[in-house]
Amino acid sequence: MFYRTPLGWLQLRHRPMRLVVAICGVMFANLLMFMQFGFLGSLIQTTVQLQSHLIGDIVISSTSGRQLQGIGTVPRRRLLQSLAVPGVRDMTEVYSGLIDWINPTTGKTANLTVIGIDPEVPVFLDPDIDAQRFKLRTLGSALMDRRARGDWSAVIRSVEAGGVLTTEISGRQARVEGLFSMGATFGADGTLIVSRETFLSFTGARSAGAVSFGLVRLAPGVDPGATVEALRTVLAYEDTKVETMAEFLASHKRFLAQDSPVSFVFRTGAFIGLLVGAAIVYQILYADVNEHMSEYAMLKSLGYSHGYLLGVVCEQAAILAVLGYLPSLAAAAAVYAVVAKATALPLVLTFDRAANVFALTCLMCAVSGALATRRLRAADPADIF
Amino acid sequence: MTDSASLRRAPALSIAGLSHVYGAGLLRREVLTSIDLAIAPGEIVILNGPSGCGKTTLLTIAGALRGAQSGSVKHGHVELRGAGEGDLRKARRLIGFIFQAHNLHNSLTALGNVRMGMEAHGSGVMADWKARCADMLARVGLSNHMSDYPATLSGGQRQRVAIARALVTAPPLILADEATAALDGKSGRECVELIRNLAKGNGSAVLMVTHDARILDVADRVLTMTDGRIQVRP
Ligand SMILES: Nc1ncnc2c1ncn2[C@@H]1O[C@H](COP(=O)(O)OP(=O)(O)OP(=O)(O)O)[C@@H](O)[C@H]1O
Ligand SMILES: [Mg+2]
């Protein structure tokens, strides 16, 4: 059986230290990309995780807000106007804000997203939350996120034991009466769900007239597009926007993925990883070509073509890409697990992300390899005698 | 001495009216001046002459490593003058080159290096590559060093690997430039005799450049070059 001598591989293997450095370089670059993309993905996912649990066809919110934490407010009067639009079955106001809560287990201050809803209306898709909303009827009652960041075992244990945890939030008497699962975001350690009245008492400064957003539900069979148009005519205020639920989620995601400074930071981080990796691979391949100039000239004298030598360098670039990528994939999985545990952020090694990073690795090695082959032109068989 | 039978065939290498110029303008320098030379198949020719007289230049042109500027250079019936890069590459595959130094690939074993000599000819010739390469190494006395890397071989052993690589495809023409210069007298002599015996066995023509007066006796013909011209002997 004939196979081409794997010259690129044999040359790399001949210099084990250099090969290890190259693999580490690619691995480092990949891990950096995995982390940056992972955080960005997690940021996007967590920022809309609460919104994507909401029941509603149309969302009325302030134009000033592009994230839940800074969503701005809409005057309640305006939201009520929506009820007059044909096709609208009902509308419920949702209040959202941030509060500090001293974690009874650790004594540390946690920063929680607090959501105020009408306990009489289904607001969350999650059946677990919906089944417990009646518990919020009493002032001071709250549902707590069991996946919040930090050690909440004291709260979780006493609630799970069927009891109620009485504590103090923002100087008010509070009772945690139930649990649900949501998870932390970049900006908040977890979520607390309360009634509107409780919300207003916890966040003293907010007035009942300043609603975060309104969830509009349509009568069966009504076209959301047409109703959005109708609502926009009625609510034609500069600072109020009407979006379908899908548009609302998409605009929050888009802002994060493209326009937010934090996404720029993560994408820059990934790009730097790519550059560092490319520089290392280029250095290694260039050094290898340089070291083998006389051998390459000798190969040309044996009748090998320039294309053959290009193939050797490409083979080396491909080997570095694969050998650097595989361990970085394993390392990324491990680091994801550790970081996810420590931060309560969802960091999942998705197939898409693994494929994207591999594609970038290949690109990185291909560019470095192509640059390194420029040196090959100097391999002249006429110079070797 | 040339035997009459081989002269009737086309010469392995025939050069006529070849001149070569390096540089241009003020740096212009003619290093070869109307060279005429023919080597019959199986003939062994040694070329000597003072340093800088143009021996290596002649060898690189004859070996299709450098383009011919004028005159004619033929391998058998194939004209190299004006040949494209692809044709030059093909021509090189029919030549066994033996260099003074830097001749082996350091990341390959002795066997791997010899194999590279075959692989240049493409997959068609590779069917029994291992047997052929091993046999070739045995013939240069390196049966016990087939999986050794060049770094662990002596200078003479390395040169013998290079000879095996050059000869494994039984090329019709062998070109050697100072192949023994880096070796001590005894191993130099051994290498030259190996080249002669193997070349005679294959019917390959050999053009060997050397300064070593002690090995002139292996040649059928000795040519001397001075100042870019081959001396005509009386
Ligand atoms: N690539 C080149 N460009 C310009 N001049 C060259 C080049 N190669 C060789 N020369 C010059 O051409 C002349 C002939 O060189 P060549 O190498 O053919 O000599 P040589 O007979 O092999 O010498 P030596 O015995 O020292 O190896 C020398 O003067 C050399 O300086
Ligand atoms: Mg020379």
CA distance to A318, A346, B208, per residue, from A351 (Å): 21, 15, 62
H helix intervals, B2-154:
4-8, 55-62, 85-93, 110-119, 129-139
Q: Is B194 domain-assigned?
A: yes
Reported confidence tier of residue B182, pLDDT bands at 50, 70, 90 = confident
Interface test mutation site (partner B, options A19, A316, A319, A385, max chain B beta carbons within 10 A): A385
Tokens of A80: 């009520």
Alpha-carbon distance A20 to nearest alpha carbon in chain B (angstroms) = 17
B103 contacts A10? CB cut-off 8 A: no
Comparing alpha-carbon positions, the chain A residue that sits nearest to B108 is: A10
CATH number at residue B53: 3.40.50.300
What does the alpha-carbon distance between residue B18 and residue B209 come to, in Å, rounded to a whole number? 18
What pLDDT score was predicted for residue B100?
82
Alpha-carbon gap: A328 to the closest alpha carbon of chain B (Å): 28
Q: Which pLDDT belongs to residue B1?
A: 43
Strands A213-218 and A165-169: unpaired
Q: Which residue's CA is the closest to the ligand 1 atom numbered 7?
A: B22
Number of Cβ within a 10 Å radius of residue A249: 17
**pLDDT at position B233, please?**
67
Of the two residues A124 and B6, the one the predictor is more confident about is A124
Those residues whose C-beta lies under 8 Å from the C-beta of residue B103, and which sit 6 or more positions away, are A298, B158, B159, B162
Among A32-41, A60-69, A340-349, B120-129, the least confident range:
A60-69
Residue B187 lies in a domain: yes
Three-state SS letters, B142-190: CHHHCCCCHHHCCHHHHHHHHHHHHHCCCCCEEEEECCCCCCCHHHHHH
Distance (Å, whole) CA A350 – CA B198: 63
| Separation of CA B15 and ligand 1 centre (Å) | 19
Instruction: Report the complex ipTM.
Output: 0.90
Q: How far is the CA of B53 from the centre of ligand 1 (A)?
A: 7
pLDDT tens sequence across B46-80: 999 999 999 999 999 999 999 999 999 999 889 99
- Distance CA(B205)–CA(B13), nearest Å, equals 8
Q: Please work out, in degrees rounded to the nearest 5, the angle formed at the alpha carbon of residue B169 by the alpha carbons of A306 and B152.
A: 80
Size of interface A-B (CB pairs under 8 A): 70
Distance between A266 CA and the closest CA of chain B, angstroms? 42
Q: pTM score, two decimals?
A: 0.79
Cβ neighbours, 10 Å, residue B144: 9
Q: Is residue B207 in a domain?
A: yes
pLDDT for A262-279, tens place per residue? 888 988 999 999 999 899
Q: For the packed helices B110-119 and B155-167, what is the interaxial angle rounded to 10 degrees?
A: 30
> Within a 13 Å sphere around the CA of A87, how many CA atoms are in the beta-carbon half?
13
| B73 in any annotated domain | no
Which residues on adjacent β-strands are paired with residue A74?
Answer: A211
Cβ neighbours of B121 in A, within 8 Å: 303
Q: Which chain B residues have a beta carbon less than 8 Å from that of A384? A: 65, 99, 102
Separation CA B105–CA B99 (nearest Å):
13
pLDDT in tens, A355-365: 999 999 999 99
Inter-chain CB proximity B97 and A14 less than 8 Å:
no
Q: Report CA(B56)–ligand 2 centroid distance (Å).
A: 4
- Positive or negative, the CA dihedral A157, A161, A164, A166 is negative
**With the C-alpha atoms ordered B6, B11, B12, B13, is the resulting torsion angle positive or negative?**
positive
Domain ranges of chain A: 7-46+261-383, 64-237
Residue A378: its pLDDT value, please?
A: 80
> Which token pair is A24?
């580490």
The strand pair at A190-195 and A213-218 is best described as: unpaired
The reply to whether ligand 1 has any atom less than 6 angstroms from the CB of B53 is: yes
Residues in the 5 Å CB sphere of ion ligand 2 = B 56
Q: Which residues fall within 8 angstroms of residue A185, CB to CB, at 6 or more apart? A: A43, A46, A47, A49, A50, A113, A345
Number of structural domains in chain B: 1
Percent residues over pLDDT 90 in chain B? 64
Point out which residues pair with B39 in neighbouring strands: B13
Asked whether the CA dihedral A7, A10, A14, A15 is positive or negative, the reply is positive
Between A293-301 and A261-291, two packed helices, what is the crossing angle to 10 degrees? 60
Per-residue pLDDT reduced to its tens digit, A317-333: 999 999 999 999 999 99
Indicate whether B217 belongs to any domain: yes
Name the residue among B61, B122, B58, B43 with its Cα closest to residue B90.
Answer: B122
Residues of B in contact with A299 (CB under 8 A): 105, 116, 120
Residue A2: the pLDDT is: 58
* Digit-coded pLDDT (tens) for A184-224: 888 889 999 999 999 998 887 788 888 999 999 999 989 98
Nearest to B107 among A11, A382, A384 (CB): A11
Q: Residue B37: inside a domain, yes or no?
A: no
> Is there an atom of ligand 1 within 6 Å of B15 CB?
no
Identify all chain A residues contacting B114, using CB atoms and an 8 Å cutoff.
none
Who among B66, B120, B129 is closest to A303 (CB)?
Answer: B120
- B22 C-alpha vs ligand 1 centroid, how far in Å? 9
| Assigned domain for B31 exists | no
